[in-house]
């Protein structure tokens, strides 16, 4: 029994008729860019996140870039980003001309460590981008309290945590804006590149919408130079077809996490993911930590079980950032996670039998 790391085909099989009908409708209406399906999804997704505005954009990286630009962030500014995240978070900062400044993660929950912020703050710090890594909400109460005190914009990178919650609020509803990716393997995934920004700031959302569409709200009325980063009609229709299932998919991910936790508890040298108190983890990824990570990974591979490493190098450890002005610390926690973290198979269609098999193969390795 081979167990892939992820199986997007299984999800398609489970909702094939809804997806096929949604795609056919867009093709029939020839509303390929913008149009009704995009407006509908934006309305639905804003509501799901508890925000008044959602703007569909081309992908999750553009979403971050666009928000930063529309907040006026650029050359001379510094933006705090976690040392462990997908490179999109720091790339988007650099694209604006600003400097990403890396912040270590906390050892228990693996998100931006609020205790590290004060030493990294300078007079140039204008914004920060906490990432809800693996589906775990960052410590938003502490982060927003600190940011407000210093007049720093908070932009949530929510690419891995659609509908996670902390302290009674959905992630994406804490900062001035939040960015989403709908990359196919994300918890809510399109069938190509897609992304969105949500915000309750009407004026900001309006500028974001124009900037992402060549600086125009009305065709040929360009109020600024923008870019071309739009959500297309087919992707929006697919996302609307999937959105009603997201809640049950998240609950299934949480049950799988429980099953892993029961099956893997008490193994010496294997650390399991923990959930931040008063939060809902949505398990985009189930990441265990082991000092024998590479050997464990090979053992699983031999048994036909797919795993991934998210991510094999913390951003400040990449040669490209070696001399970077934002590389200002030692980042022990992020480097340790890069050396020990292993993502196990995690997707709603994964059967408990398969989870049990993964657990058994891991136990066998430690025996
Ligand atoms: C996937 C991801 C992104 C970028 O999303 P794309 O849609 O691939 O551009 C940004 N940040 C994080 C943390 C991600 O996981």
Judged against a pLDDT cut of 90, whether residue 1 lies above it is answered with: no
CB 210 within 8 A of CB 217: yes
What rounded mean pLDDT belongs to the chain?
97
> What was the pLDDT predicted at 181?
98
Tell me the best of 56, 66, 160, 172 to mutate to test the pocket of ligand 1, counting ligand atoms within 8 Å of each CB and taking the most: 160
Long-range contacts of 23-31 (CB under 8 A, 24+ apart): 23/234, 23/237, 23/238, 25/237, 26/233, 26/234, 26/237, 27/234, 29/233, 31/233
What's the pLDDT tens digit per position in 29-49? 999 998 999 999 999 999 999
Question: Ligand 1 centre from 61 Cα, in Å?
Answer: 6
**Does pLDDT of 105 surpass 90?**
yes
pLDDT digits (tens, 9 = 90+) for 221-273: 999 999 999 999 999 999 999 999 999 999 999 999 999 999 999 999 999 99
Tell me the pLDDT band of 339, cut-offs 50, 70 and 90. Answer: very high
What is the structure's pLDDT at 12? 98
Helix-helix angle 88-95:60-70, to 10 degrees: 40
**Whole-Å CA distances, 112 to 75, 84, 123, 357:** 24, 8, 20, 33
Smallest CA-to-CA distance from 186 within 59, 4, 54, 50 is with 59
CB atoms within 10 A of CB 269: 11
| Closest listed residue to residue 279, CA positions, set 155, 188, 163, 143 | 163
Q: Distances from the Cα of 62 to the Cαs of 50, 79, 281, in angstroms?
A: 22, 16, 25
Rg over CA atoms, the chain: 21
What distance in Å separates the CA atoms of residue 223 and residue 217, rounded to the nearest whole number? 8
Is there a contact between 351 and 7 (Cβ–Cβ < 8 Å)?
A: no
The atom of ligand 1 lying closest to the CA of 59 is 7
The rounded Å distance from CA 141 to ligand 1 centre is 23
In the reported structure, the alpha carbon of residue 221 is separated from the centroid of ligand 1 by a whole-number distance in angstroms of 31
What's the pLDDT tens digit per position in 12-31? Answer: 999 999 999 999 999 999 99
The Cα diameter of the chain in Å comes to 68
Predicted confidence at residue 331, as pLDDT, reads 98
Among 67-71, 73-77, 218-222, 320-324, the range scoring the smallest mean pLDDT is: 218-222
Q: Where are the beta strands (DSSP E) in 42-190?
A: 53-57, 78-82, 99-103, 125-128, 153-157, 165-166, 169-170, 177-181
User: CA–CA separation, 64 vs 95, rounded Å?
Assistant: 10
From atom 5 of ligand 1, which residue's Cα is the shortest distance away? Answer: 60
For ligand 1, atom 2, name the residue with the nearest CA. 159
Tell me what pLDDT residue 3 has: 98
Q: Looking at ligand 1, which atom is closest to the CA of residue 160?
A: 15
How far, in whole angstroms, is CA 175 from its chain's centroid? 15
- pLDDT tens-digit readout, 150-205: 999 999 999 999 999 999 999 999 999 999 999 999 999 999 999 999 999 999 99
Residues touching ligand 1 (Cβ under 6 Å) are: 59-61, 85-86, 88-89, 131, 157, 159-160, 181, 183, 193, 195
Residue 54 contacts residue 42 (beta carbons within 8 Å): yes
Going by DSSP bridges, is the β-strand pair 279-280/270-271 parallel, antiparallel, or unpaired? unpaired
Q: What percent of the chain has pLDDT over 70?
A: 100
Ligand 1 atom at shortest distance from the alpha carbon of 61: 9
d(CA 52, CA 50): 7
Nearest C-alpha neighbor of 119 from the set 330, 267, 317, 309: 330
CA of 263 to the centre of ligand 1 (A): 30
pLDDT digits (tens, 9 = 90+) for 296-309: 999 999 999 999 99
CA distances to 62, 77, 271 from 201, rounded to whole Å, are 19, 22, 41
Ligand 1 centroid to Cα of residue 360, in Å, is 32
- C-alpha angle 52-135-70 in degrees, rounded to nearest 5: 40
Residue 320: count other Cβ atoms within 10 Å of its Cβ.
10
Q: Considering the chain, what percentage of its residues have pLDDT values greater than 90?
A: 98
Would you tell me how many other CB atoms lie within 10 Å of the CB of residue 306?
A: 17
Given the CA of residue 131, which atom of ligand 1 is nearest to it?
13
Contact between 345 and 119 (Cβ < 8 Å): no
Which residues touch 185 (CB under 8 Å, ≥6 apart)? 6, 8
How many other C-beta atoms can be found within 10 angstroms of the C-beta atom of residue 194?
29
Pocket test for ligand 1, best of 58, 138, 181 (most atoms within 8 A of CB): 181
CB 238 within 8 A of CB 45: no
pTM: 0.98
């Amino acid at each position: 029994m081979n167990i892939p790391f992820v199986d997007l085909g299984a999800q398609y099989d489970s909702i094939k008729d809804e997806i096929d009908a949604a795609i056919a409708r867009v093709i029939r209406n020839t509303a390929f860019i913008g149009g009704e399906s995009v407006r509908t999804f934006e309305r639905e997704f804003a509501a799901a996140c508890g925000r008044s505005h959602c703007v569909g954009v081309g992908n999750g990286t553009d979403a971050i870039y666009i928000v930063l630009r529309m907040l006026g962030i650029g050359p001379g500014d510094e933006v705090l980003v976690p040392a462990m995240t997908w490179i999109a978070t720091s790339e988007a900062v650099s694209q604006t001309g600003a400097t990403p400044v890396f912040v270590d993660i906390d050892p228990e929950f693996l998100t931006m460590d609020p205790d590290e912020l004060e030493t990294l703050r300078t007079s140039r710090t204008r914004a920060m981008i906490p990432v809800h890594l693996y589906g775990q909400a960052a410590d938003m109460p502490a982060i927003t309290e600190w940011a407000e005190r210093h007049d720093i914009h908070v932009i949530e990178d929510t690419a891995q945590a659609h509908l996670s919650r902390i302290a009674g609020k959905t992630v994406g509803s804490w900062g001035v804006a939040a960015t989403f990716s709908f990359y196919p393997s994300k918890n809510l995934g399109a069938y190509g590149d897609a992304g969105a920004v949500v915000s309750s700031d009407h004026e900001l959302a309006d500028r974001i919408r124009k900037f992402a569409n060549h600086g125009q709200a009305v065709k040929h009325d360009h109020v600024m130079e923008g870019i071309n980063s739009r959500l297309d009609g087919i992707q929006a229709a697919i996302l609307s077809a999937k959105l009603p299932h997201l809640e049950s998919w998240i609950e299934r991910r949480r049950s799988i996490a429980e099953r892993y936790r029961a099956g893997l508890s008490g193994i010496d040298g294997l650390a399991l993911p923990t959930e931040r108190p008063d939060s809902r983890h949505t398990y985009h990824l189930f990441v265990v930590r082991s000092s024998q990570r590479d050997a464990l990974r090979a053992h699983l591979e031999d048994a036909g079980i797919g795993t991934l490493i998210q991510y094999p190098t913390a951003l400040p450890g990449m040669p490209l950032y070696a001399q970077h002005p934002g590389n200002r610390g030692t980042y022990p926690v992020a480097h340790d996670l890069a050396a020990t973290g292993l993502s196990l198979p995690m997707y709603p269609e994964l059967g408990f039998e398969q989870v049990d098999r993964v657990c058994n193969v891991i136990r066998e390795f430690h025996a």
